[in-house]
Copies of this chain bind each other. A is one copy, B any other.
Amino acid sequence: MRILKLTEETRKNLQEDLLKRSPNSYRQYEEQVHHIIEEVREKKDEALFAFTKQFDGAKLDSGNVRVTKEEIEEAYRLTDNKLIDVMKKALENIKAYHEKQKQYSWFDSRPDGVMLGQKVTPLARVGVYVPGGKAAYPSSVLMNVLPAKVAGVGKIVMTTPCDREGKVNPATLAAATLAGVDEIYKAGGAQAVAALAFGTESIPKVDKIVGPGNIYVALAKKAVFGHVSIDSIAGPSEILVLADKTANPRYAAADLLSQAEHDELASAILITDSEALAEQVSCEVDKFTAVLSRKDIIEKSLENYGCILVAENMDAAIEAANEIASEHLEILTSNPFETMMKIRNAGAIFLGEYASEPLGDYFAGPNHVLPTNGTAKFFSPLSVDDFIKKSSIISYSKEALEPIYQDIVQFAVSEQLTAHANSINVRFEE
């Protein structure tokens, strides 16, 4: 891995490279995505099935677009029992963590008859998009579905592309069943997002669409945002390891590679104040890469988006980590908790040498759907918050309104909104 001195310039150049991976840089696909969306919005199932034939090569109709109970049972049988056991354990941890995120309605009364409050309601219907293709990510199914489940969402609908024969990956179906998905449909790409946003004869309209996908899925989600809600738009995966000289270079190297293997656009960055550690990690990275099955992907990812930055001191290293705002941040320092308190921007923060990043991907409980590409400055991990919404509650008595009603009238009149003033005055007319 290349080793550079951390300066404002090297950090900014790196961030510019990373930002090029953003879905915002793919406007050339927008027209096609809008076309797909408009077709599905207008012609519903007819368009959905036509695009499925065109893009996935599968012939679907209203009779077989929904995954049947039999298909689910078969998938469950086909899935390795050991994997099912692991998924069950992971599911318990994920549920337990997300239970702690629950928010409750509150109401606050005053003696003069004023009651103000905030009502929390789970979303009625949520759509979870699950990518298809060769690799299946059952962990992603658990992470997207379980927060909705904990929030109390009324109906959870999943869509995932099928292969040419109409089959869906068995582990995906098994995970969906364990997580408690209500309905599963064979649909992928922008056409699936459009079907969830507007509804078709076969697929119900939902209130929010979550889940990762390729650039078409990301652009389609952005296009339907406002008509429905969406989670944040996922970019390629990232890890940033903050380490001082006390870090184990083999652990740091292995963890960097765990993200670099995701895809060629993934990013792995080490920032340290120790030149010796930088050299050691670089050497360990080479040794591991040579024997890892996804060597080709790793090499491309490291070449374009991987980097070791050597900082003057740990404070400068921490400041750079805050600027980069990585999806995953590992802290391998002598006092990880102390370092963590200085972190303002990161999706998930892993403390100490046994909190390896894949522990969070699969098992510990916090969500692995995290803000990428610097968006940890303003976005949060997927959580129960994403599946609830709030309503303000206002109740007033005459006793409470009377002493202030002229203030409100004054305010309304200053904004030239006389009908607003009238609706207050009418309560106190003779």
Residues of A within 8 A of B (CB): 22-24, 27, 34, 80, 82-83, 85-87, 89-90, 97, 100-101, 106, 108, 114-116, 118-119, 121, 123-124, 135-139, 171, 207-208, 222, 225-229, 232-233, 250-251, 254-255, 257-258, 260-262, 288, 292-294, 298, 336-337, 340, 343-367, 370-371, 375-381, 383, 385, 389-398, 400-401, 404, 407-408, 410-412, 414-424, 426-427
Contacts and interface: CB of A to CB of B under 8 A. Distances in A.
A415 B293 CA distance: 13
A311 to B, nearest CB: 21
Contacts of A361: 412, 420
* Residue among A86, A87, A351, A379 with max Cβ neighbours from chain B (10 Å): A86
Nearest to A298: B419
Contacts of A397: 354
| Number of identical monomers bound together in the oligomeric complex | 2
A401 B362 contact: no
Contact of A340 (B82, B348, B393, B426): B393
A333 B423 CA distance: 18
Nearest to A171: B414
By CB atoms of chain B within 10 A, which of A24, A225, A394 has the most? A394
A217 to B, nearest CB: 14
Contacts of A389: 371, 376-380
Contact of A391 (B80, B225, B257, B343): B343
B414 A80 contact: yes
17 contacts: A85-B407, A119-B349, A135-B416, A139-B411, A222-B226, A293-B416, A294-B419, A298-B419, A345-B391, A349-B392, A350-B394, A353-B427, A355-B394, A358-B412, A358-B417, A366-B392, A380-B389
